[in-house]
Each structure stands twice: as structure tokens, then as C-alpha cells.
Amino acid sequence: MLLSTKGIVFRSVKYSETSFITDIYTETNGLQHFIISGVRKAKTTTGAGLFQPGSLLELVSYYRDDKKMHRIKEAKSGYPFREIPFSIHKTAVSVFMSELCSKTVQESEPNPEVFQFLWESYIFLDNTQESFSNIPISFMSNLTTFLGFQPRIPAGKSLFFDLKDGVFCESPNEMSWSKDGAIVPLLKTFFVTDLHRAHQVKSTRAERKEILQTLTKYYSFHINGFRKLNSPEIYGAIF
């Protein structure tokens, strides 16, 4: 059957001299895997650039429920980026978002809320004229809501963040699983601040680096097999 849908490219890897395999999170069927043939040829109507991580697409594919790999019939940009491809900083943030998604958003079934959040996050990154240094942290924090392990955030002062139980608290249950220090109130702020207001949170480069490390550890407690992200190193080098 032919499947028409919007899609967000998470990852693309070379498969042969002229083809590659790409993971696309679709609006209608969740995460799906596609093989795209001939895209690396000189004469092609569908260039490899269309399937860069973070690209927003409209595509038509040959889809079968009993297949793990599908083929794309037609593809075009669903939202032509104006700034991300031409800004090394925004490109770095987009790469970070895509790598995080590729390692966490694995459902092969539709989830309109997740799709809408991801689609709008890339568009916001492309359009914003505010500082976007906080976007990786805000995106990583907000994504926990959709992944099912957003931490509990009680009112009042929190001195610790319990990574295993996912709760901000006054005293730790187990020090080896808890984070303390000056970044705890800042991290708490990020969890309750949406992407559009992330630029209003005051943070230093050192604080952002420490928070990203803490969030990465938090993800590893709650997602089986979660591996180290490579893009935070790129992100840290640029910002």
C-alpha cells in the first residue's frame, strides 16, 4: 500500500555507493526504517541532502505491515529551513536533538503528541532570534514528559535531584543516585520551562555542561540501553 505522511529524519547511514538507510519518525506510523536507492547518483530528483538528520519531510512510501524496511516513492521538504543549514550553532543543536531522538523515540506506532512536539521544536529552532544556547537542555527536559519519566517536582526548596526515583527532594534516598549542588534549582527550572521560554533562563556554559551530563545520566537510569550521546561534545565546543 502507499502511505502518505509527514516525517522527521532521525538518522541516515550509507548502505551502498548510491543508497542509504534512514530512520524516519512518521506522523501516521511512528518510527519506520526506509531504504533509499539511487539517491547518491549524479542525476537524481531526490538528493541526499533531503534526508539529513532533523529534516522535516512530506513523503509517500511503499508500506507493508509485515516488512521492517520500506521504500520511498516520493519525498519533498515539509518545511524548508531558513537558518539551520547555514548556522553552525543551530546545526549543532539540530544534530543534538536528532541524536537524542534516535536513541529514545522508538515506538513504531502513531503518537500525535510526540510528533507535534518534535516537529514544532525543529521549526522553533529554525525561526528563533533569541539565544538558543539553552535549547538542548530544554528539549531534553521537555522530552521526558513524552517518554514517560518526567520527574516529580514538589513545591518548595529542593537541594537534591534523585535520578533513580525521578524526584526533586530535600534529602537524598541514596547519594550515589542523587545530584546536589548549585545546578539543582536551575535544572528544576528547566523542567518547568517550555522551549519557547528557554532563553529566559540564565545559565553559564559550565552550568549547561553539568546539566547535560546530569540529564544524560538521568536518561540512562530510565531507558534501557541508553548510550552516551556524541553531540553534547560538539555542542559544548561551539557554545
Amino acid identity, position 94: S
Residue whose cell numbers read 514528559: 145
Which of 116, 54, 48 lies closest to 83, judged by CA? 54
Average pLDDT, the chain: 91
CA distance 84 to 77: 14
* Predicted pLDDT at 152: 95
Distance CA 116, CA 182 (A): 33
Task: Give first-to-last CA distance, the chain, whole Å.
Answer: 46
Cell of 41: 547518483
Is it the case that residue 156 has pLDDT exceeding 70?
yes
Please report the pLDDT score of residue 45 as a whole number.
Answer: 53
Amino acid at site 144: T
What domains can be seen in the chain, in order of their start residue? 2-77 (2.40.50.140), 86-238 (1.20.1440.120)
Task: Determine the pLDDT at residue 96.
Answer: 95
Amino acid (1-letter code) at residue 184 = V
Place of cell 541532502: 49
Percent of the chain with pLDDT over 90: 70
| Owner of C-alpha cell 539543582 | 184
Please give the pLDDT value at position 41.
Answer: 55
104-139 pLDDT per residue, tens: 999 999 999 999 999 999 999 999 999 999 999 999
What is the model's pLDDT at position 14? 85
Q: Between 192 and 47, where is the model more confident?
A: 192
List the grid coordinates of 39.
539517491
User: 214: part of which helix (H) or strand (E)?
Assistant: helix 205-222
pTM for this model (two decimals) = 0.92
Element holding 74 (H helix, E strand) = strand 69-77
pLDDT, tens only, 11-51: 999 887 778 899 999 999 999 999 987 665 555 555 678 99
